[in-house]
Structure 1
Amino acid sequence: MPVEKLKTFLDENKVKYVTIKHSSAYTSQEIAAKAHISGKEFAKTVIVKIDGRLAMAVLPASYQVDFKMLEEIFGTTKVALATEAEFNRFFPDCEVGAMPPFGNLYDMEVFVAESLAEDEDIAFNAGNHTEMIQLKYKDFERLVEPRVFKFSWKTVSFPGDPSERWAVN
């Protein structure tokens, strides 16, 4: 069970955390809303491919990855969203799309958006679509040792056209 692996790791490292159960949800914004947590505080894990190697990009639920920024940061033109087929084997104990942002548990490098690193707390999927974990960002940072930089933009929808999305800094 995915959440047990994560809880064991957190317990072994003496991290205080809260487990929040919620009804099934599949998008990070939906999960944040169901748990009454800000979309800026809920971390979504996006698996990206940088020059062929996989990495976790962790950013607020209300933000989106800016692939051009990642290309500039890594000095390449080969940054893309990884497919499920490319990353599924790395997370045998997780439901697809519910991977916790602990790349160190899955032999994967982790990049965190600086906007997420500004928060005191962080919440994220616990490996399934019905449970999340919330803890202090400082504890997450201590355990995962992610690289932090700017690679995302906040997205907003306007009431006149909910399908129209605009990126804002």
Structure 2
Amino acid sequence: MPAKKVKEFLDRRGTKYVTIWHSPAFTAQEVAESAHVSGREFAKTVIVNLEGRLAMVVLPASKHLVLSDLREMLDAPHVRLASESEFKAVFPDCEVGAMPPFGNLYGLPTYVAASLAEQPEIAFNAGSHTEAFLMDYHDYAEAVQPRVLEFITT
């Protein structure tokens, strides 16, 4: 079942999206492969603890976040990956690890990699390990208003 908040939000806005059902997958790269979506277009959601507050970082499935560079870009000396226990309750309608990149709906600032912002479409987990959504990147950016950063990824 998809994240109820995201589905209702997109439907209310009249935003077009495609639902992609896939076999159970637990990493973003596995989901991208299972859903037949490029790792450049499939967005993975990483939750970080930024100066004691949770934040959402969205980057291509094929990349890894370099925390030291994120610290420098945000001028925030205390940035680390958040633990599951820190963020699980923030996403009550999502399976852990399948959070959609809509920080605005969950009270989190959202930072997106510029390389994703350059893609015509974006695909992402829809709150479960068997369902993803695909939509126009422009529609995503308009709905979420993420801060686009030139993430240095590996």
* TM-score with structure 1 setting the length: 0.88
The offset of 1:2, in angstroms, is 4.0
Give the match for residue 96 of structure 1.
96
Q: Secondary structure of the residue that 2:46 maps to in structure 1?
A: strand
Q: Paired residues, what number?
A: 154
Is the contact between residue 56 and residue 109 of structure 1 (CA under 8 Å) also seen in structure 2?
yes
Instruction: Name the amino acid aligned to 2:20.
Output: I
The offset of 1:76, in angstroms, is 2.6
User: Deviation per CA, 1:33-74, whole angstroms, max 9, x where unpaired?
Assistant: 011110000000000111111100000000111111111112
Give the match for residue 36 of structure 1.
36
Give the match for residue 57 of structure 2.
57
* TM-score with structure 2 setting the length: 0.96
Stretches of structure 2 lacking an aligned partner (at least 5 in a row): none
Is the contact between residue 2 and residue 131 of structure 2 (CA under 8 Å) also seen in structure 1?
no
Give the match for residue 72 of structure 2.
72
Partners of 1:5 and 1:54 in 2: CA distance? 19
Question: What's the C-alpha RMSD, in Å, of the aligned pairs?
Answer: 1.1
Q: Secondary structure of the residue that 2:3 maps to in structure 1?
A: helix
Instruction: Name the amino acid aligned to 1:84.
Output: E
Partners of 1:2 and 1:22 in 2: CA distance? 13
> Compared with structure 1, are the counterparts of its residues 90 and 3 closer, same or farther at alpha carbon in structure 2 (3 Å cutoff)?
closer
Instruction: Name the amino acid aligned to 1:94.
Output: C
Is the contact between residue 59 and residue 152 of structure 1 (CA under 8 Å) also seen in structure 2?
no
Is the contact between residue 15 and residue 139 of structure 2 (CA under 8 Å) also seen in structure 1?
yes
State percent identity of aligned pairs: 56
* Poorly superposed stretches of 4+, deviation over 6 Å: none
Give the match for residue 122 of structure 2.
122
Partners of 1:43 and 1:14 in 2: CA distance? 22
The offset of 1:137, in angstroms, is 0.3
Higher relative CO (Cα under 8 Å, sequence separation at least 6) belongs to: 2
Is the contact between residue 42 and residue 123 of structure 1 (CA under 8 Å) also seen in structure 2?
yes
Partners of 2:7 and 2:76 in 1: CA distance? 37
Q: Going by fraction, where is strand more abundant, 1 or 2? A: 1
Is the contact between residue 48 and residue 56 of structure 1 (CA under 8 Å) also seen in structure 2?
yes
